Amino acid sequence: MHVLVIRNAFTYDFGGAERLAVHIARDLNLSKIQTTVVSRQPRVLEYAKTQSVTAYRGWWWSHQDWSGKWILGVPLYVLWQLLLTVWYIQLILRLKPDAVHALSKDDFIAATLAGRLLGKPVVWTDCADLKHVLAKHRVWYKNPVGKMVYAVSKLARAVTLVSNSEKELIQASLGGPVPANYVVVHIAGKDEQVTPFARQRSDEKAVIFCATSRLVIAKGIGELIEAFVRLSKELPGVRLWLVGDGPDEARFQKLAGNNKQIWFIGHSETPLVYAAAADVFVHPTHHEGFSLSLAEAAMLGKPMIATNVGGNPELVNNTNGILFPVHDVAALYQAMYRLAEDSALRARLGKQARHDYTTQFDFARIIKDRIIPLYENA
């Protein structure tokens, strides 16, 4: 069997959804299924190579907003989709895959049409986008692109949703139940051995908090820095590692000021080495579908602090971590202070996080039991 795995995104976006596409392909390879990752995003292509996954440079149009005044340009979008469909037809004829697995909006339409025209099963994985894509779906004069996506979604063999929270939000966008082929599949991170980053000698006894994230406002990095600056004034033995880059990095560096306990690590092809070396994983995002980074933290056996939004409560509870209200800097500070001061609590939460991962979110088992059958069954 050969599967095309497709994920496109803006050049500055390289997060859980982009890595997820590559991880799906990697695990399919381990299951003796040939895969090709198709993307226009340079980091996705580069990351695929580091994971020994075949990568192919695809087509993608960076203009994604067809609301407001841009609704007048929808005929251009339709033409683009027709062109993209033809491109996918020739790609499928050339590479001869047995199935297509799409993880991005434009490809939901074009790759599905191409795949179905050529008799290939098509599977979608929604990376927390459909709730936005399908917004105002029932208002006849609004969101024509969302209406196109919704109509084509019914042609897919399955539309996998990353969390029950996402399913509820999509139902709210649709104004009613989702189609029968929309199913929740918690696709988490692969269980693997990670060699922790070697701490500096001065940090050997420090309590290190780590966040692996794009440096954008919506990921809650501002609140995390504010809470940590307060924490570091009271507890000099704490550190904060921020793994990732993004358009708001300069803003966050200014917010951190000259705090020597905050380390901006930047983009890393191996962010898990930092998470593995840290004591606590923090995920203060403003919204979330189902966090790959939280799943990976659980895989590493790390206690977690996360906002009580989206799919986070499906991963984090009071037995393996601490949930706090979104935007609440004081509550985040309190959670960080509590874990910084209580090593026994950190150990207990981390042990439970690892147990929850192995029993509920093991990536290899999910790929084998939930995803591969979607390619095979008629």
Q: Are residues 72 and 10 in the same domain?
A: yes
Range of the domain at 372: 2-190+363-376
CATH of the domain at 254: 3.40.50.2000
Q: For the chain, how many structural domains are there in total?
A: 2
Q: Are residues 184 and 313 in the same domain?
A: no
Q: Are residues 260 and 356 in the same domain?
A: yes
119's CB contacts (< 8 A; 6+ apart) are none
Per-run averaged pLDDT (10 residues), the chain, 378 residues: 96 87 94 96 95 96 91 95 98 97 96 97 94 89 94 97 93 93 86 92 94 96 98 97 96 96 94 97 94 93 97 94 98 98 98 94 89 84
Cα 222 to Cα 254, 338, 359, distances in angstroms: 10, 20, 34
pLDDT of residue 50: 93
151's CB contacts (< 8 A; 6+ apart) are none
pLDDT of residue 378: 47
Q: Is residue 196 part of a domain?
A: no
pLDDT of residue 377: 63
Largest Cα separation within the chain, whole Å, is 64
Give me the phi and psi of 96, to 5 degrees please. Answer: 55, 50
Tell me the C-alpha distance between 282 and 303, whole Å.
9
Q: Are residues 290 and 250 in the same domain?
A: yes
Q: Is residue 269 part of a domain?
A: yes
Q: Is residue 43 part of a domain?
A: yes
Cβ pair 297, 149 in contact under 8 A: no
Q: Are residues 213 and 345 in the same domain?
A: yes
pLDDT of residue 346: 98
Q: Are residues 207 and 343 in the same domain?
A: yes
Residue with tokens 């037995």, as numbered in its chain: 319
> HSE of 348 in the Cβ direction (CA atoms, 13 Å)?
9
